Amino acid sequence: MQQLDFYGGLVAAFAAAGWQIIFHWLPQFIPVLSQKENKTLAWWLAAMAAIRNTLTKSQVATAFLVGLLLGRPLEGLAVGAVIELMFLGVFVVGASIPPQPYLATIMTTVFVIRAGLQTADALALVMPVAILSQTLMMAALSWNHLPLGIAKRRAEEGDFRGVDIQNTAWQVTSFSIAVNLVPAFIGGFVGVPAVQAAVQWLQTNAGWVLEGMGFLAGVLPALGFALLLYQMGTRLIGYLFLGIVAAIYLKPDPLALALAGVGLALVHMLATRREEGAPTTAVSEAPARPARELKLTDEDILAMYWRHWNLFQVASWEVLGGLGFAQTMVPVIRRFYKTKEEISAALKRHMVFYNTNPWLGAIIPGVLASMEEERANGQPVDEAAIQGVKVAMMGPFAGVGDSLFWATYIPIILAITASWAQSGNTALMWLAPITVLVVLGLSNLLIPYYFMRFGYRRGLSALQDLQQRNLLAELSTAATVVGQFVVGGLVVKLVNLQVRWAPSFFGTSPIQLQKILDSIMPSLLPLLIFFFAYWLLRRGKSAIFVMVVLMIICLVGAYPIPLPLFNNASILGKPIEPEQAKTSLLLLRQLFIG
Amino acid sequence: MAIVLVRIDDRLIHGQITTAWIADVGATRIVICSDEVANDPLQRTIVNITAPPRMPTEILTTEQTVQVAKSGVWDRERVFVLCKYPSDVLPLVRAGLDIKEINVGNVGGMTQHKGGPGKQIFKSIAVTEEDVQIFRELLQAGVKLEVRVVPRDHRVDLATLLEKV
């Protein structure tokens, strides 16, 4: 047994949640305790939340940062890319929580770099850690009933500051520390020597297992892409086949593939536009609002915006994002309500069940802020109307937001950058995490902000605007076309499986099976594996089941088969030398002729 | 084929529907069957804005759903019927539509908004007295009630959850 790895544990803990505590969590207490807002600080908090969200979504960026902390960023990238492609189609939808790759990425990167392993050696650990994360997250949703109970009592007292403090205070203690920081530290501290010992044992006793894991790293992207296809549905599957053919015969770079996808989407939109469809006229200006005495300021909107990032940080089974939503509305309540009864009623009505897609759904607190403003100015808007709008919007807007942003837009960015991370070209490898942080980070920062402002400025008219422009349906269709095309192309580029076995019969030259497969069609095996994974998912099998099946295929393919024709070679492994072929022929003769 | 799935989900067409259920049952048409939604202009507008592109989506009252289902126009379609509340399913079963199994998704999240949450019997299900009555009647009518949030979850039998109430 080697030394316990204190430094590895420390780095893992810092990457998992330590930085958030310093840069994101502690500064939140300034506005929350003083109840005074500052624009610069609000943008800072939103930016930190955007980075947090980008890291939890992008394994390439996370693994790169861990690698950077350990002084070997490119090795981190290699780990991140493999895990990224495994989990491409995996994200939280509503209260359904899948295995979470974030902690697994951090742990695996630390193991690979600190214990000196190959990426593939640590692959077997990814899924168990992801399932551990999932379990801890679910447990967090249970124990968050405690802060919810406290916050409910604060709401009863009409204490908006208390509600504000609760949601900010508990997000790190209940979630980041318990779910990410502690397991990461223990994992790094104890795990590194344990993993090292296990891999050494395998190397000496069962090298084929490690070899099989190496093959698995090349096959797993098929699972990620199959999950994505499953979520996008097969309505536009023609574009998937176009992407496959384009990638096989044109060999484009991933970015070119995405651009071609965008071009196809534009053509598709033009070709399918109904003549009497979306009106081409600009939407008329909103009717002039009656002058309002009481108005929200820009600071108030920003104050709502940074709080909106805490929506699901203290989620509980009972109300999911309800507590976070109440915190989001604190600046509005603070501005418009003065008596204890009013404040208490407002806090309570915003603390009930809430769940939506946090990007597109940011429009909802915007619209509600506008309605609360009308109400404060004595217009006939009652509580029931405000509740009704919120309840009616949150489910359906999650439907569009999840399929458009979670299942299409973000995975496309992740898949392209993961392929850069695997390209072996140093410049592209550095570009991968930087691109993720810039593109996904800015999307995180600006898209929800845009929707929140749009919702506030237009109020309920925002719905008419969206209906007239047919905007969401157009965006969803376009994104799906790009998604299908890019998935088709990247399956060909990134899924890697070759048969290296070359049997030789009676002393003839060995038959290169892979050459025969290539002459039928290049990339035939990767495509078969991809469609096989998709077929299993459609049969209702879980992602974990599919992963185990792929693992078994790779391990069987790597197993040295003790038969003459194989001569201790395996199906996927090293080809047989002609010399060995002769030996196997002699063996055969002895077997049959004696 | 007609109706391929009946699901109770008070969040209507949300993420679990668009990224999992539609593909899983191979639906060609979505019918939102709920008296409340059908009679509320705001909810109708929102469903129209957010309905999945190129997927025919209708909002019908329970009475209209029964009529259309019996008229046979859905026979060549794969219809996914989405009810908002347990009370939206009961008229369909009472009218004798061919419903053998009902998928129970998200129930009770919205009753909080109507004053008073129900009793939580599963992570995504909270029921009121009235809901329990309805579920019991459905079970007596020989309908299977299965709880599955997304298609790849384990099936949980609602009858066993109700026994604890």
Helix (H, G, I), strand (E, B) or coil at A330: helix
What is the CA angle A29-A32-A37, rounded to 5? 110
State the smallest CA–CA distance between residue A168 and chain B in angstroms.
24
**Diameter of chain A measured on Cα atoms:** 105
Contact between B16 and A353 using a beta-carbon 8 Å cutoff: no
Helix locations, A35-70, DSSP H: 39-57, 59-69
Which of A146-155, A493-502, B75-84, B131-140 is least confident? A493-502
Calpha distance A480→A488 (Å, rounded) = 12
Residue A387's closest chain B neighbor by CA?
B113
Residues 75-94 of A with CB under 8 A from B: 93-94
Residue B14's closest chain A neighbor by CA?
A399
* A317 shares contact with chain B (CB less than 8 Å): yes
**Which parts of chain A sit beneath pLDDT 50?**
1, 276-286
Q: What's the gap between Cα B40 and its chain centre? A: 18
B145 forms beta bridges with B102
The predicted model gives B86-106 an average pLDDT of 93
Contact between B120 and A317 using a beta-carbon 8 Å cutoff: yes
Query: What local confidence, expressed as pLDDT, does residue A180 receive?
Result: 86
* B15 shares contact with chain A (CB less than 8 Å): yes
- Taking CB atoms and an 8 Å cut-off, how many pairs form between chains A and B? 133
- DSSP character at residue A179: I
- Reported pTM: 0.88
Calpha distance A242→B82 (Å, rounded) = 34
Helix locations, A402-425, DSSP H: 410-421
State the smallest CA–CA distance between residue A241 and chain B in angstroms.
18
Digit-coded pLDDT (tens) for A171-215: 887 778 888 888 888 888 888 888 888 888 888 888 888 888 889
Nearest Cα to Cα of residue B143 among B104, B105, B101, B89: B101
SS3 assignment for A191-215: HHHHHHHHHHHHHHHCHHHHHHHHH
Residue A405 tokens, joined: 């942003």
> Please, what sign has the CA dihedral across residues A183, A23, A111, A225?
positive
Decide: A97 and A138 in contact? Cβ < 8 Å: yes
Reported confidence tier of residue B54, pLDDT bands at 50, 70, 90: confident
* B76 shares contact with chain A (CB less than 8 Å): no
Catalytic residues of B: 14
B33 forms beta bridges with B60, B83
CA distances from B141 to A55, A290, A588, B82, B163 (A): 50, 56, 69, 20, 17
Decide: A537 and A224 in contact? Cβ < 8 Å: no
CA distances from B3 to A123, B10, B86 (A): 43, 19, 17
Calpha distance B44→B60 (Å, rounded) = 10
Contact between B52 and A95 using a beta-carbon 8 Å cutoff: no
- If one counts every other C-beta atom within 10 angstroms of the C-beta of residue B73, the result is 11
Residue B112's closest chain A neighbor by CA?
A352
Residue A308 tokens, joined: 């909106």
Nearest Cα to Cα of residue A4 among A222, A176, A187, A127: A187
Calpha distance A415→A486 (Å, rounded) = 9
